[in-house]
Every structure is written in structure tokens, then in C-alpha cells.
Amino acid sequence: MIEILQVLAYSAQIFSAPIVAYTLFVYVRQTRAMEQHLQIQQDHIEDIQDSRAELQFYQVIRSLLDMRPYIERVLSSCNKPMHSWSDEDREAAIQVCGQFHFVGVLVYEQLIPEDLLAKSWCYSIQQCFKVLEPFIISIREERDPRYWSGFDFLAKRVAEITVDFKGFI
């Protein structure tokens, strides 16, 4: 009787060994397939994020192009004392400061490519900041020292990035 039980135990072990091996084989394959699937999903997410960043950059450039009249008005008032600004000059200053502040925040958060933005808008950003700095200081005295601080950050980054930039030619 003991011999029969031993034979049955050996037989069960011999029979179950391939089943265990097959189960491990299936488990390893499923794990690899899940890893590949997760990598594909991660790649897809990165593609979506890249597309979203490109779309955001495109939207920023479009909004800056729409701001061109305000930028030109600010640049044309570079030698005007602030107290002699017209309502239109002041409105242009507010629009430009607000827009460049927002762009500066996007650059700070690394949501748009700062290098390309800096090289394509270096003159406008730097010159507008020079013209508007006294205006920004006066607004900060009225409201908050951090008001439009994204514009400060943007102007500083553009200056750093374009220090040796000679143009695209």
C-alpha cells in the first residue's frame, strides 16, 4: 500500500512538473506582453504630450502675432514719459505685459520651447521690457510686487538665450 502511494506521489510530481513549468512560461509571456503594452501606452502618452506642447506653442505664437499692434504701440512710445501716455498707450502696455507674463509662465513651466521663442521674439520681448519696466514697477507698487513677474522671467531668459545669437542666417 505504501508503495502504491509512493508511486502515485511520484506520478503526481512527474505529471505536475510540466504543468507548473507551462504555467510559469505563460506567466512570463503575459508579463512581457503587459510590459510591451505599457511601453506602447507610455510612448503614446509622450506623443500626445509632444503634440499638446506643439499646439500650445503654435497658439502662443498666434496670440503674439495678434498682439503685434500693441507691441508696435509700446515700442513706438519708448521715448515718451509715462505720464504723457494716452489711454491707447496704457492699454497697449497692459496687453503686452499680460501677454508676455503669460508666455513667461509657460516658459517657466517648460510647456513651450524657450529657445525657439527667444530667438524668434528676442527683439520685441527685450525692447518691450525696457520700455515697460517703469510702468511695471508702478503697477507693482499699486498691486503686488509679483505682478507680471512672468514677464521679468521671460525677458531674463531671452537675454540669456540670445546673448550670442546672430540671427538665422
Q: Among 30-39, 66-75, 123-132, 134-143, whose mean pLDDT is lowest?
A: 30-39
Q: Which residues, 6 or more positions from 104, have their beta carbon under 8 angstroms from its beta carbon?
A: 149, 150, 151, 152, 153, 154, 155, 157
Judge whether residue 13 has pLDDT over 90. Answer: no
- Count Cβ neighbours within 10 Å for each residue of 8-25 and write b for 16 or more, e otherwise: eeeeeeeeeeeeeeeeee
Among 3-7, 104-108, 113-117, 126-130, the least confident range: 3-7
pLDDT grade, residue 87 (50/70/90)? very high
CA distance 93 to 90: 5
Q: Is the pLDDT of residue 1 over 80?
A: no
Give residue 99's pLDDT: 96
109-137 pLDDT, tens digit per residue, is 988 888 988 998 999 999 999 999 999 99
151 touches 104 (CB < 8 A): yes
148 contacts: CB under 8 Å, gap ≥ 6: 97, 98, 100, 101, 136, 139, 140
Contact 84, 103 (CB under 8 A): no
118 by Cβ neighbours in 10 Å (0-12 / 13-18 / 19+) ranks as buried
pLDDT level of residue 107 (50, 70, 90 thresholds): very high
- What 3-state DSSP class applies to 24? helix
Burial of 132 (0-12, 13-18, 19+ CB in 10 A): buried
